[in-house]
């Protein structure tokens, strides 16, 4: 899906999920909706977009922020596919919004929780390089888009902002700095 991701897009537009991770997220949403239909459970669907920060331990299938930070801190090369864009939501901002659901619970709602700071993956890598002081030659750039990955994910989080008080308090630059600081300490030999 190349447009802005509003909460109702998946209800109105048939989207072919491009990878196993995306499929699992959609299936989980469908299970939550089915639970409401079958058992009248009071549920809310929450979509988290590229949430990152301290205490996200490295694994090859973690967020791009986590994987790139870990690899550059440890001297491993990374591959950057040019032209990809994302929002990156700092964990503390996300948690505050999730906590607000209990104060304003509206069963049946869907919320996108995402930063409104859209950035290129190249810019994210610049931020990580600045903080890690890793050699730039660890970054391999490729011109063609990464297969089975959305090239540019734009998210509308205005509903979460209005109804749940979602606010971006931590910028990408500050969040990367805090994440690098935590990873340096956690993975210290």
Domain architecture of the chain: domains with CATH: 4-186 (3.40.50.720)
pTM of the model: 0.86
Does residue 1 have a pLDDT over 60?
no
The CA-to-CA distance between both ends of the chain, in Å, stands at 43
What are the pLDDT digits (tens) for 64-100? 999 999 999 999 999 999 988 999 999 999 999 999 9
pLDDT confidence tier of residue 122, bands split at 50, 70 and 90: very high
- The string of pLDDT tens digits covering residues 134-174 is 999 999 999 877 776 777 788 999 999 999 999 999 999 99
What are 131's two structure tokens?
């903080």
User: 163, 65, 172, 63: which is closest to 117 by C-alpha?
Assistant: 172
- The helix-helix angle for 172-186 and 64-73 (nearest 10°) equals 50
């Amino acid at each position: 899906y190349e447009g802005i991701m509003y909460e109702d897009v998946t209800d109105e537009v048939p989207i072919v999920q491009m990878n196993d991770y995306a499929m699992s997220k959609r299936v989980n949403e469908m299970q939550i909706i089915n639970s409401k239909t079958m058992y009248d459970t009071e549920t809310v669907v929450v979509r988290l977009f590229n949430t990152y920060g301290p205490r996200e331990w490295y694994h090859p299938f973690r967020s791009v922020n986590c994987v790139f930070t870990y690899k550059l801190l440890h001297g491993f090369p990374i591959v950057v596919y040019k032209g990809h864009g994302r929002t990156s939501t700092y964990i503390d901002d996300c948690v505050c919004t999730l906590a607000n659901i209990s104060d304003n619970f509206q069963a049946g709602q869907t919320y996108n929780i995402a930063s409104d700071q859209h950035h290129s993956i190249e810019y994210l890598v610049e931020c990580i390089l600045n903080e890690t002081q890793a050699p730039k030659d660890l970054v391999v750039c490729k011109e063609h888009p990464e297969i089975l990955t959305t090239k540019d994910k734009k998210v509308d989080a205005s509903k979460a902002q209005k109804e749940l008080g979602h606010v971006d308090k931590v910028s990408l630059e500050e969040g990367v700095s805090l994440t690098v600081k935590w990873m340096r300490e956690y993975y210290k030999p």
